Amino acid sequence: MLLDRDGIINIDRGYVSRPEEFEFVPGALDFLRAAQARGFLLVVVTNQSGIARGYFTQQQYAEFEEYMRTRLSAEGIRLAAVYVCPHHPDGAVPELAIDCECRKPKPGLIHYAERDLGLDLAQSILVGDKETDIQAAKLAGVGRAFLVGQKAGELDYNAFAVPLANILCS
């Protein structure tokens, strides 16, 4: 199962990169546990343009990712892999200010996961909170993609667990 990070695992507060900013989306832990119990590999595919924009470094991102993995592990949840796009065409860090193939809605991150983990994308599921997540899934050939947490154009975390439960039943 391919998962966006911000808005799916943690509340998207914009460029979340420090432990004190991290808060699980209500219902996310239950969903991740249930997906894992059903045999899904949990794979994060996330745009992190804050790196290219100079808001935080790649090292700071790596430390934050380790913090997130530790928190998930304490809840009995194991991520098989995390794929991150640090690029943005308008970035302030010159080597990362590129129009890459890994920034969603392009499918690069998903193809990296397919290659590295031997995923059958036609049998895979992607869960995202933005249309760019869904576009990337379609371009990559992911079998099913779900846009969750949206209500009238804004995230509705109170209603988040219901669509996620439906994903596991479909």
Bridge partners for 66 per DSSP: none
CATH code assigned at 60: 3.40.50.1000
57, burial (CB in 10 Å: exposed 0-12, middle 13-18, buried 19+): middle
> Which residues belong to the active site?
4, 6
* pLDDT for the residue 163: 57
Q: Is the pLDDT of residue 140 over 50?
A: yes
- What's the average model confidence in pLDDT over 141-148? 91
* pLDDT for the residue 147: 86
If you average pLDDT over each of 7-11, 81-85, 128-132, which comes out highest? 81-85
- What's the average model confidence in pLDDT over 121-135? 94
Q: Is the pLDDT of residue 154 over 90?
A: no
- Mean pLDDT score of the chain: 90
Domain ranges, residue 96:
2-169
Q: Given pLDDT bands bounded at 50, 70 and 90, which one contains residue 168?
A: low
Report phi then psi at 147, rounded to 5.
-95, 115
Give me the residue label for tokens 């592990």.
73
* pLDDT for the residue 166: 66
Angle between the 161-169 and 28-37 helix axes, to the nearest 10 degrees?
10
- What's the average model confidence in pLDDT over 61-65? 97
Nearest to 42 by CA among 18, 9, 7, 6: 9
Distance CA(123)–CA(90), nearest Å, equals: 35
What pTM, to 2 d.p., does this model score? 0.90
Nearest to 64 by CA among 24, 14, 2, 16: 16
Q: Is the pLDDT of residue 66 over 90?
A: yes
Q: How many domains is the chain partitioned into structurally?
A: 1
- In eight-state DSSP terms, residue 157 is G
* pLDDT for the residue 152: 43
